[in-house]
Structure 1
Amino acid sequence: MKKNLNFLMGAVLLMATVLFASCNAEDDFLVSPVDSTGAVTRSVTTDPYVIDFANVPAAYTASDKYGANLYTGGAGQITEGYKVQLGNSGTYVQFPVNYLEQEWGEEPRPWQYDYWNGGLAVSDYTDITDGTYLNQCSVYNGGIAGVDNDKFVVAYGYSDFYNDPLSTYDKCAKIYLTDATGYTVVEEGTPVEGTVKTGTFNSVYVCNTTYSQIVMRDGNSFTTGGKSLEEQEGWFKVEFIGFASSDTSVAPTGKVTYYLANFDKSKEEESGLHGEIRTGWNQVDLTDLGTGVHMVVVNFVGSDKSDYGLNTPAYCALDNLSISL
């Protein structure tokens, strides 16, 4: 009898170990509510959850300051992107790279996950001197990374008259609330599909990337006349647009605009900037996106544009995203 009891106890311990490892492998880690402790917080709550990206595994992080693993053919390519569960709620936040038909190459052009389609890239790069696209994953924050000097996420892509004339936001970065499966390719050559979950986006910290900061400050071969934004008396801003589903043909739940730079005197009041480029990490209130939000589109708009669209690099870094369910 004693022998059988020891066997049963060993089996129970083995099962518990397997279940624990399985849960950790699927969830990566659970984002807990702010200022809360104990088992009571491991359920659906109205307290905010904060995603700070500190513990994102290397497999979901840009492999270098360019992000070679964000493109087809790159070693360890990132496709659906990083997702994390909010407590034990069954609701996950997903930060994907867009899956779209490629705009060049021989027909039929393939559908692929590629960062040039727009999307979100987790990063910890801090190079503040290289003002080219080869440094697109670095934050401009004095050589320091995220809000807590750890990882952050870089949003890239924009929708305008040239690259997305139907205003479907196909080329924009999108943050989804969904389930454990996330938004994935269900049928090759068609848009990704996923389960709708909703919540309230409270706030996010925003900082310029090095690439966009230096181009706005100094200009480059793509800016109008090679001039800086100050010389053009121009401006640049990011827009956060909320939707109750992934269908952007339905009216948005709300919109928040945040200026990343402004040298236009007529926009000083609305931008809160008086001839300057935004510096450091700044918290942006997202509550005007409303409640019952499923997807947040990150779009960029600026004064410096041409027949081929926006000339200012369409990037910003995000960190410490606060969400309530």
Structure 2
Amino acid sequence: MIKKLLALLLISGYSAVYAQGQFPPAAGQTGSTAIARDSSIIQSWASGTELVRGYIQISDTSVYSSGSNKATFGHPSNALGNAEGISTGVVSLGDGGMATLTFDRLIVNGPGADFAVFENSFGDTFLELAFVEVSSDGINFSRFPSVSLTQSETQIGPWDEIDPTQIHNLAGKYRQGFGTPFDLSDLEYNPLVDVNAIRFVRIIDVVGSINPEYASIDSQGNIINDPYPTPFNSGGFDLDGVAVINCNVPNTVLNFTELPLTHNSFFLPEENGMFSSGPLNFIYEAGFGSWSGFSYSNRVSLTGEYTNDQFVAATSGGMDGDTTNFAISYVSSDWMSGTYDPIPSIINVANGQAVSFSGFYATNSHMAYITLRDGTMFNKKFGGVTGNDPDWFRLKVWGVRADNSLTEIVEHYLADFRFEDNGLDYIQNDWRWVDLSSLGEVKSLNFILESSDSGDYGMNTPAYFCMDNLTVMEVQGPFIANPLADMVVNVNADPIDINLDNHFAASGVNPTYEISDNSNSSLVLASITDSQLTLTFALNQTGSSVITITSTANGLTVSDTFTVTVSSNVGIDQVEKIRLKTYPNPVIHSLTLEGAKDSEIRIFNSNGSLIFTGKSTDEKTILPMDAYPAGIYLIQVAGIYGNTTIKVSKK
């Protein structure tokens, strides 16, 4: 809920006193787990969302604000990209409303927090909360076990406060600019959710009412008491962004921004051809003043002229907001043969190789939307006069495999009036996800439209649909789930076994392992059998060895390096952590060193040439790697714990 200035001034005049709860405190306080929106651990942000708004007062749906009884504040695109950390750059969910977000990469169960959710609270104690769920397939979701220890005897009013130390695993725990972290390790095991391949994060507003008829319940059976009612157009949880922390390789998300268009315009094909975006070719045909196949647009203005208005989406722009680019397709019919069957619109992989698609967002064109809603002399109004006609308008998608066989068909209803409850009937005017992961690897996609409003000459419904954020999956490699810890052992210690499956992971395949470097194999003998690493120590010798383990999956690799120190100053088999840690490896932009304070740092390329030298003065050091070409680099750290050399792969 966006606060009014008067309320802000009233509240800022006092602060409540709470008994300290058992969970981490507000941002900036000792022990807080809040993640700043500009934190270096953030790798990416949500790139797409499907939004379902809730009522502004679920207990009385006759209450309206700004012309609606549902939340209307903000645009869905406000939930995408970097969190702004301000009160207004958000989208409000309303009571029980939800946003399901997608990303340009898979979220994985790595060390610590895996992602963070940002809300817009202006203070540490005015908190609007939300449940958080994740899914790998968009169908089966797992909810994070949440706890609210806030009393539930007295309703917290719209301007009252909550102690964050009594809140756990609920989004909105921290003030604007700071995200609530979520660790996939907290989830109960669900065989239908792959925590190493999360594609969807769902945020569901907590209805703060303590009335059991409307109340939200935490994982321990407690009623969750938060500000209620909030009968404003900005009611409910205000989503500012979702940040990705632990992830796999970036996928290719086509949002068509690179295609050349002036503001409020479109591309009108005039001859047969194609346009390209990312690794794909979008086919179109044109002639005699008409076109079919694919085009692209950012048109929002309606002029009443068919040529212009056919390129307007029902959403008034792409996923990234009004006037942003999107693709649009017109599916023609086979009138020449007399069958009037739809002729597929086609997308080809440019190099002819088969790839996997995650999915895309679809919506109606404005022309199709108003035709379905109102009807014309050529097209029926969906639902008919009574609203009971079981009308439908659907998109069908299938793929062509490398051997030219066809995949199963994926269906998506752009309008559906087949429900027994007419209140569930809809004509889509928002972006909704169409999942294509079930198609497997294909070299082309085919799209057709079908409608219940069809006659002897084919479909009467305008045969348009709009597309955005078509996502091509890259080959997913292994990742470090739990970094190998440096260790100190006593001289003549017994061999140590380490299960590498506890430290590396991959989705859908079992990674393999090898020892890619051992700087002192005469001191520490390292061997791998299946997934077990065994360290054996030479008799009566002390010193250290730097060992690098490389994991391989799907032809991709990731490496982790740790140091083993053999000393006569520790108890038998005592293992301690040495402070140096490095991540990510492989690195794309910046390499983080932890525990290198007061150390000399040198970087060597694969030819052995010294290309960087410097000194670390902080516990955490960021090394920019953008300027260096892809390849292998050696990071040498010399400090109070001796010399350590780490092999790093630069992508």
TM-score category (smaller protein) = 0.5 to 0.7
CA apart distance, 1:159 = 5.1
- Mapped partners of 1:297, 1:281: distance in 2: 20
TM-score normalised per structure 1? 0.60
Contact residue 105 and residue 251 of structure 2 kept, 8 A: no
Aligned equivalents of 1:276, 1:234: Cα separation in 2: 10
Q: Is the 8 A contact 1:204 1:284 kept in 2?
A: yes
Equivalenced residues, count = 225
Q: Is the 8 A contact 1:159 1:300 kept in 2?
A: no
Please state how far the C-alpha of 1:165 moved relative to its aligned partner: 4.1
> How far is 1:129 from its partner?
7.8
Distance in 1, Cα, partners of 2:413 & 2:364: 10
Alpha-carbon shift at residue 267 of structure 1 (Å): 11
CA distance in 1, matches of 2:394, 2:421: 11
Q: Which amino acid aligns with 1:80?
A: G
Map of 1:97 onto structure 2: 284
CA-CA distance at 1:118 after TM superposition: 2.1
Matched residues in 2 for 1:294 and 1:62: separation? Answer: 33
Check the 8 A contact 1:202/1:323 in 2, yes or no. Answer: yes
> Equivalents in 2 of 1:235, 1:267: separation in Å?
15
The alignment partner of 1:216 has SS state of: helix
For residues 390 and 359 of structure 2, the distance between their equivalents in structure 1, rounded to whole angstroms, comes to 29
Q: TM-score, normalised by structure 2?
A: 0.31
Q: 1:5-154 counterparts in 2 under 5 A?
A: 34-35=104-105, 47-58=250-261, 64=265, 69-72=268-271, 79-85=272-278, 92-98=279-285, 116=290, 118-127=292-301, 130=304, 132=306, 134-141=308-315, 143=316, 145-149=317-321, 150-154=324-328
Cross-structure match for 2:435: 285
Shift of 1:80: 2.2
Match of 1:259 in 2: 413
Separation in 2 of the partners of 1:173 and 1:289? 17
SS in 2 for 1:217: helix
Q: Over the residues paired in the alignment, what is the CA RMSD in angstroms? A: 3.4
Match among 346, 349, 353 for residue 177 of structure 1: 349
Structure 1 residues without counterparts, runs of 5 or longer: 1-32, 37-44, 73-78, 86-91, 99-111, 180-195
Letter in 1 for 2:437: T
CA contact (8 A) 1:117 1:157 kept: no
Counterpart among 388, 393, 400 of residue 243 in structure 1: 400
Q: Which residue of 2 aligns with 1:316?
A: 465
SS at match of 2:319: coil
Residues 210, 252 of structure 1: CA spacing in aligned structure 2 closer, same or farther, 3 A cutoff?
A: same
Is 1:157 the equivalent of 2:350? no
Which one-letter code corresponds to 2:367 in the other structure? Y
- Secondary structure of the 2:258 match is coil
- Tell me by how many angstroms 1:280 deviates: 0.8
Query: Matches of 2:289 and 2:377 in 1, distance apart?
Result: 22
1:200 matched to 2:403: no
1:222 matches 2:378: yes
Distance 1:55 1:175 in 2: 17
C-alpha distance 253-35 of structure 1, shift in aligned 2 (>3 A):
closer
Supply the AA of the counterpart residue of 2:451. Answer: G
1:207 shift after superposition: 1.1
| In structure 2, C-alpha distance between the alignment counterparts of 1:275 and 1:176, rounded to whole Å | 34
Indicate the structure with greater helix content. 1
The superposition leaves residues 169-204 of structure 1 with CA deviations (integer Å, 9 ceiling, x where unpaired) of: 6x321111023xxxxxxxxxxxxxxxx221011110
Aligned partners of 2:277, 2:425: CA distance in 1, in Å?
39
Is residue 367 of structure 2 the alignment partner of residue 211 of structure 1?
yes
Partner Cα separation in structure 2 for residue 274 and residue 163 of structure 1: 38
Measure the CA separation in 1 of the matches of 2:251 and 2:338.
34
Q: CA deviation at 1:220?
A: 1.3
Identity %: 25
Residue 82 of structure 1: how far off its partner (Å): 1.7
Shift of 1:54: 1.1
- Return the structure number with greater strand share: 2
In the TM superposition, residue 35 of structure 1 has moved relative to its aligned partner by 4.9
Deviation at 1:131, TM superposition (A): 8.9
Q: CA deviation at 1:46?
A: 6.9
**How far off is 1:115 after superposition?**
8.2
CA gap of 1:132–1:219, structure 2 versus 1, over 3 A, is farther
* Contact preservation (8 Å) 1:124, 1:138: yes
Q: Go from structure 1 to structure 2 and tell me whether the alpha carbon gap of 1:117 and 1:123 turns closer, same or farther (over 3 Å shift).
A: closer
CA deviations on 1:261-281 (whole Å, 9 max, x unpaired) are 01123799xxxx921111211
- 1:70–1:115 CA contact under 8 A, matched in 2: no
Using the TM superposition, give the Cα deviation of residue 148 of structure 1 relative to its aligned residue in structure 2, in angstroms.
Answer: 0.5
Q: 3-state DSSP class of the match of 1:259?
A: strand
The one-letter amino acid paired with 1:239 is: K
Structure 1 pair 302–146 and aligned structure 2 pair: CA distance change class (3 A): same
Task: Tell me by how many angstroms 1:286 deviates.
Answer: 0.9
Q: Shift in Å at residue 48 of structure 1?
A: 2.0
Aligned CA distance change for structure 1 residues 53 and 132 (closer, same or farther; 3 Å): same
Note the residue ranges of structure 2 that are not aligned, 5 or more in a row.
1-102, 107-247, 475-651
Separation in 2, partners of 1:166, 1:218: 25
Paired with 2:270 and 2:459, the residues of 1 have a C-alpha distance of 22
AA partner of residue 450 (structure 2): V
- Structure 1 residue 52: Cα displacement: 0.7
Contact 2:367–2:462, Cα closer than 8 Å, also in 1: yes
